[in-house]
Chains A and B, each alone.
Chain A
């Protein structure tokens, strides 16, 4: 997917003015935030479980080569073929090659953010394979030619009227207005696609080294259909998604759906191992697993490694006051919210996403809900540090902060300067005690007054009090 993160600021203005989007985003609070709160307490010792989950992910990441090789050996033993892709283009080429090898004309697909990362659909269409997205949300987006705006709830930005309009237009059926009716219509339209597809494409929430399995977490059942009915199954995922054992995945499964959608467990958790067995009435004859690097390996062993713990639950964005106000599209790439503000510059180049690490108040709402305890604000701060080193910070900002720090290190001059400034600002504040304009800081004063200082600094008054 093309990276449009550099356009962030302009997008913010557009999104803040989009009343329909604002209405749609207001549902985040009631559905996801409150939904999570309601079920997360079911976990007996949440902090202990989060610690354990973080440790499981760290164990996997600290020895990623070991676990991936073990995974590969086990998966291969069971008849799967493991492919290694360094870039998005590699994935597209590999999957197109698999399609060609098996004479695939049509493919059904369940939700996969990694495939969004690669722009796989366009690549396959280009190679003559018809791809049908089957996750309801992704199906809607495919029909509307839009990108997902959330990693768990991809069409959170649309309301049902928009979807009614869309379905009426593309399905050429009488307009449905109820949500259940819309779902039923999509089900009936998609059923034949499931039954006739040559190839199923899915993501994988986890890879299990112990058994060589891919684990897929879904609610709609499309993930099961896509991995059961077609004769070829391709699972695409990031290299970081491996975990050692089934027990490890159990701990993560306790947290993932609760953090994501406020469910104790998703409807379906499918553990897929190898190809169909002898005498099996169903299941794919060919199982391909594509492992994507795309910059992930560069985070290993460095200060950003913790980001690779991410299990893509979306809780960080659901709880982020920035995401809550602008939605996912403003971020410009596949991954929005706090995790996206870190992954986008890391995987897509800092220069292509200069705003994202800065567009956060570092309020920490994300890190307290992250099931694998990623210190997201610390990582954002770390990226800001990188920007400073790369000379990407606006000159005015670094200059001002430099002067401020220099003054702060020289208390006497600091006292003089602040003493002057507060008097001046008090004057500007007038009788009302408010500054309506802040030269050089219009970002503040375009929307807010600035309460004028009292006119004398604390240190002056304090000294006066001590030595009257």
Chain B
């Protein structure tokens, strides 16, 4: 299987380690991983701000770079959702492109979804000892039905105890530009999330979207919590939890 890995703009800039963890996971599952080097951003920020034109331009760029792969995998539910759900919407009036985008979408997967449902590796390369709690990011959950997948993968790792938090599926308040434009509201939502995380006494919070994780970590740290570890699911599965 030839996989095109799109690391996402946030991972590229802020936590490259997640990208390498994803490569390791995919390779351990027997995939050939290619990272097209011209990749940048999927266009979601502009799209969610109402700029479809901009989003269409980036969608076409994405299509050109990734159309040739058997599968396209992203360590982010929201970017995978952008490609699978929203790219086709952007081209709904252009039948020719639409067919291509639908075909692209059906081959595009969020990382844990891909590992669990398609690649099905026997075991995870990493080890993790201890408790953690999991935040379900909105797009992955509601656009791609990613809920069981990370839990199933974690269940396959001996030594991991999952302490579920209450309202794990409630939005953390990130929402891209929302987090800056409605900072106060966003912070309150993050606060609620952090409270639920701390209440689990897990010590580690994992998730599948770096945006949410930055939001959660940012609030935890501002609240003086420097102990709770905030990790991407790929880092845990690959044993790159530092």
Binding site for B on A (CB under 8 A): 9, 12-13, 16, 29, 321-322, 325-326, 358-365, 367-368, 378, 381-388, 393, 397-398, 401-402, 404-405, 407-409, 411, 414, 418, 421-422, 434, 441-444, 446-451, 453-454, 456-459, 461-463
Tell me the residues in window 1-17 of chain B with beta carbons closer than 8 Å to chain A beta carbons: 7, 9, 11-17
Contact B179 A444 (CB under 8 A): yes
SS of A interface (majority): helix
Output the nearest chain B residue to A17 by Cβ-Cβ distance.
Answer: B184
Give the residue among B13, B38, B179, B221 with the most A Cβ atoms within 10 A. Answer: B13
Show 24 residue pairs from A and B whose CB-CB distance is below 8 angstroms, ordered by the A residue: A16-B184, A16-B185, A321-B189, A322-B189, A359-B178, A359-B185, A361-B176, A368-B142, A384-B50, A385-B50, A388-B50, A401-B45, A401-B54, A408-B41, A409-B57, A411-B38, A441-B180, A446-B184, A447-B183, A447-B184, A447-B222, A453-B14, A458-B7, A462-B35
Top-7 shortest CB links A-B? A361-B175, A443-B183, A447-B187, A384-B50, A448-B218, A458-B16, A363-B171
- For A451, the chain B residues whose CB sits under 8 A away are 14, 214, 217-218, 221, 230
Cα-based distance from A132 to B17 in the complex (angstroms): 65
Instruction: Tell me which of B49, B143, B183, B219 contacts A384 (CB under 8 A).
Output: B49
State how many angstroms separate the Cβ of A464 from the closest Cβ of chain B. 11
State how many angstroms separate the Cβ of B40 from the closest Cβ of chain A. 4
Output the nearest chain A residue to B166 by Cβ-Cβ distance.
Answer: A29
Cα-based distance from A421 to B20 in the complex (angstroms): 21
- For B133, the chain A residues whose CB sits under 8 A away are none
Output the nearest chain B residue to A388 by Cβ-Cβ distance.
Answer: B50
Output the nearest chain A residue to B185 by Cβ-Cβ distance.
Answer: A12
Contact B187 A361 (CB under 8 A): no
Interface string of B165-203 (1 = CB under 8 A from A): 001011101111111111111111110100000000000
Contact A454 B187 (CB under 8 A): no
- For B20, the chain A residues whose CB sits under 8 A away are 458, 461-462
Interface string of B107-143 (1 = CB under 8 A from A): 0000000000000000000000000000000110011
Known contacts A325-B189, A358-B178, A447-B190: does B222 contact A421 (CB below 8 Å)? no
- For A367, the chain B residues whose CB sits under 8 A away are 142
Contact A363 B175 (CB under 8 A): yes
- For B46, the chain A residues whose CB sits under 8 A away are 401, 404-405
SS of B interface (majority): helix
Binding site for A on B (CB under 8 A): 7, 9, 11-17, 19-20, 35, 37-41, 43, 45-52, 54, 57-58, 61, 89, 138-139, 142-143, 167, 169-171, 173-190, 192, 214-215, 217-219, 221-222, 230
Output the nearest chain B residue to A454 by Cβ-Cβ distance.
Answer: B16
Contact A449 B221 (CB under 8 A): yes
Contact B39 A404 (CB under 8 A): no
Contact B16 A456 (CB under 8 A): yes
Contact A434 B175 (CB under 8 A): no
Contact B180 A381 (CB under 8 A): no
Output the nearest chain B residue to A366 by Cβ-Cβ distance.
Answer: B142
Cα-based distance from A361 to B175 in the complex (angstroms): 4
Output the nearest chain A residue to B23 by Cβ-Cβ distance.
Answer: A462
- For B221, the chain A residues whose CB sits under 8 A away are 434, 448-449, 451
Contact B175 A13 (CB under 8 A): no
Cα-based distance from A453 to B138 in the complex (angstroms): 24
State how many angstroms separate the Cβ of B205 from the closest Cβ of chain A. 13
State how many angstroms separate the Cβ of B164 from the closest Cβ of chain A. 16
Contact A411 B40 (CB under 8 A): yes
Output the nearest chain B residue to A418 by Cβ-Cβ distance.
Answer: B13
- For A321, the chain B residues whose CB sits under 8 A away are 170-171, 173, 189, 192
State how many angstroms separate the Cβ of A82 from the closest Cβ of chain B. 38
Cα-based distance from A448 to B224 in the complex (angstroms): 11
- For A16, the chain B residues whose CB sits under 8 A away are 184-185, 188
Contact A361 B174 (CB under 8 A): yes
- For A362, the chain B residues whose CB sits under 8 A away are 48, 138, 175, 178
Cα-based distance from A447 to B51 in the complex (angstroms): 28
Instruction: Tell me which of A360, A382, A447 contacts B178 (CB under 8 A).
Output: A360
Contact B187 A448 (CB under 8 A): yes
Contact A404 B174 (CB under 8 A): no
Give the residue among A9, A322, A359 with the most B Cβ atoms within 10 A. Answer: A322
5 extra A-B contacts, CB within 8 A, seeds A358-B182, A385-B52, A450-B214: A411-B40, A448-B219, A448-B221, A449-B218, A449-B222
